[in-house]
Structure 1
Amino acid sequence: MVNIQRFGEWCEILVPPDWEGYTVESIFRTVWSAPKKQTHNMRMEKQVLINEEPANWTKPLLSGDKLRLHLFQEEDFGVVPSYFDVDILYEDDHLLVLNKPAGMDTHPNSPGQSNTLANAAAFHLQIQGESRIIKHVHRLDRDTTGAVLFAKHSLAGAILDKKLEEREIKRTYLAMVQGKLQQKKGTIREPIGRDRHHATRRRISPKGQPAVTHFELIETYSRQDLSLIKCRLDTGRTHQIRVHLSHLGYPLAGDLLYGGKPVFPRQALHAVKLEIPHPFSRETIVCHAPFLDHPEIFKGIDPYAF
């Protein structure tokens, strides 16, 4: 684990032994995979210090050197702060994980929209006296519930985007589907594209984007003709789990768009667990999301068991 502390607008990282010999440039490029433009800006604006002096970006570092990054300066939120009583699953100076309720978009889809989780996250920062851009790292559909990760500054956002792309951020979902699933576990590898005949619907399409969903049967409920499934994603396509399970012949209960029956007031899909490699400390942050809405959907199920 890497030792990190905050000093006002600066984040201090004690260079660990395995970084010895790295340069600041190689840490940004190789360790963090930071975007070139962002790296260049921080370099030009002298936003990186070594032992409280402007960094020499090409000089090898020593274990125990104090690497300071100017990360916490005031910025525009990027969205309109708007009050909502958020359920916080994890928070530090770099990350914020919220438990999204049903019926709420993750982020604004039009200028001025203020009733989304991103607006609520911005308000949460505002009441803490922080004015910094808030960025969702991934998103959930409007009626899907559970854990959503936000970055509290642009460098954390860039690092987490890369970790998501490289599948280092693990997302576990619970889905209640129609029918008795026959397979104990499996993987669906079907590309997903837009449905030309429906504005919001997606479909399996040979010309679509690659999409991979791993699933595992947890329990079947013969009386209700339902099955509880755990899903893990390698990709994050729009409606991915909904499309893949419908294609398999087991649409989500309550998901009328993809063939589910109206047995619940929304699609039975919940992002129950999020595992995040911290962008700076390297510890793994594990968040479990309790069921906030329509508890009858996952009645008797322990969200901390997954």
Structure 2
Amino acid sequence: MKTMRKGSLFQLSIPENWKNVTIEQILKLRWQAPKKLIHMMRVNKEIKVNGDYLPWNHPLSPGDLLQIDLFKETDYDVLPSYGELHVLYEDDHLIVVNKPAGLDTHPNKPGEEGTLANLIAFHFQTMGENCRVMHIHRLDRDTSGAVVFAKHPLSKAILDRLLIERKVKRTYLALVHGKFKQKKGTISERIGRDRHHNTRRRVSTSGQEAVTHYRVLEVRENMTLTEVVLDTGRTHQIRVHMSHIGHPLAGDTLYGGKPVFKRQALHAARISFPHPLTGEMIEREAECLDDIVLES
């Protein structure tokens, strides 16, 4: 699929296999954009074809140029902060970065600085891009690895849907205490809040569905390096599930791990997902940046 940016316009050349598709079908069926966002695009007349406004039910031909006013200049919603940023992938619609441990993904109150989102805002500023910093998912402060941010509302809406549909695949490396009796397994235990501790979560029959798959990679003395894949993305999911089966993460003192590291040994090592607008598969690996050696 041929796409390009021209000023504030996203331009897409209608491919051969989209013959007779309409603007409405592209938004509703191809991209499955939210109704409210589609309505605003219609009201604000944000879409042209070959430079002209066409009815949204007009059949388009291969080679027609769909032009959407996606890249409007918008004030940053977080304060830009200087700092080193490890970019894994970036285009006009999204950015994937490798978050170091010790950073929050985004501010927890207005005006807060020093989070990953602040660093991204500064990166956008230096690149001359004026757009909001919109995270698609989060990592705990002391978990490192790949995180995805959207650059405009349409990209965010589609990526949010892909996350809900479990099409954003995240693979983690976790160093846990003890040795497993089996090489792989699945933990399907609901997770809810711990009423006795504000920041903790716990396995609870009244909690949200949570599914964690794990595979043993390497045994290291009294610890095991595991590969973990999530079907769901609950707060502290890996930490809670591993602790629940008797294998808390090394360094995770909140859930019973021993303080052998300054943080829990958890790293989001790989991420893959279809591009929100082109459908092209994006796959990236994130190197562990600190002194916790998780690679096998």
Report TM bin, short chain.
over 0.9
Partner of 2:69: 70
Gaps of 5+ in 1: none
Secondary structure of the equivalent of 1:53?
coil
Partner of 2:164: 165
Do structure 1's residue 233 and structure 2's residue 230 form an aligned pair? yes
TM-score (norm 1): 0.94
Secondary structure of the equivalent of 2:119?
helix
Deviation at 1:19, TM superposition (A): 2.2
* CA distance in structure 1 between the aligned counterparts of 2:236 and 2:60, rounded to whole angstroms: 45
Deviation at 1:22, TM superposition (A): 2.4
Do structure 1's residue 279 and structure 2's residue 276 form an aligned pair? yes
1:123-142, aligned counterparts within 5 Å? 123-142=122-141
Deviation at 1:23, TM superposition (A): 1.6
Partner of 1:17: 16
* CA distance in structure 1 between the aligned counterparts of 2:246 and 2:173, rounded to whole angstroms: 17
1:1-306, aligned counterparts within 5 Å? 2-221=1-220, 223=221, 225-295=222-292, 297-298=293-294, 301=295
Deviation at 1:214, TM superposition (A): 1.1
* CA distance in structure 1 between the aligned counterparts of 2:20 and 2:212, rounded to whole angstroms: 40
* CA distance in structure 2 between the aligned counterparts of 1:157 and 1:280, rounded to whole angstroms: 11
Gaps of 5+ in 2: none
* CA distance in structure 1 between the aligned counterparts of 2:63 and 2:231, rounded to whole angstroms: 36
Q: Is the 8 A contact 1:137 1:161 kept in 2?
A: yes
Q: Is the 8 A contact 1:4 1:280 kept in 2?
A: no
Deviation at 1:166, TM superposition (A): 0.5
Deviations 1:108-158 (A, max 9, x none): 111211111011111100111111111000010000000000001111000
Deviation at 1:20, TM superposition (A): 2.0
What is the aligned-residue identity percentage? 55
Secondary structure of the equivalent of 2:89?
strand
* CA distance in structure 2 between the aligned counterparts of 1:54 and 1:140, rounded to whole angstroms: 42
Deviation at 1:65, TM superposition (A): 1.5
Given residue 194 of structure 1, which amino acid in structure 2 is its aligned partner? R
* CA distance in structure 2 between the aligned counterparts of 1:171 and 1:55, rounded to whole angstroms: 40
Deviation at 1:37, TM superposition (A): 1.2
Which 10-residue stretch deviates more, 13-22 or 244-253?
13-22
Secondary structure of the equivalent of 1:54?
coil
Deviation at 1:60, TM superposition (A): 2.0
- When the two chains are superposed, the root-mean-square deviation of aligned CA atoms in Å is 1.1
Deviation at 1:61, TM superposition (A): 2.0
Q: Is the 8 A contact 1:246 1:258 kept in 2?
A: yes
* CA distance in structure 1 between the aligned counterparts of 2:246 and 2:275, rounded to whole angstroms: 37
Number of corresponding residues: 296
Deviation at 1:17, TM superposition (A): 2.5
* CA distance in structure 2 between the aligned counterparts of 1:15 and 1:89, rounded to whole angstroms: 29
Q: Is the 8 A contact 1:46 1:55 kept in 2?
A: no
Q: Is the 8 A contact 1:151 1:157 kept in 2?
A: yes
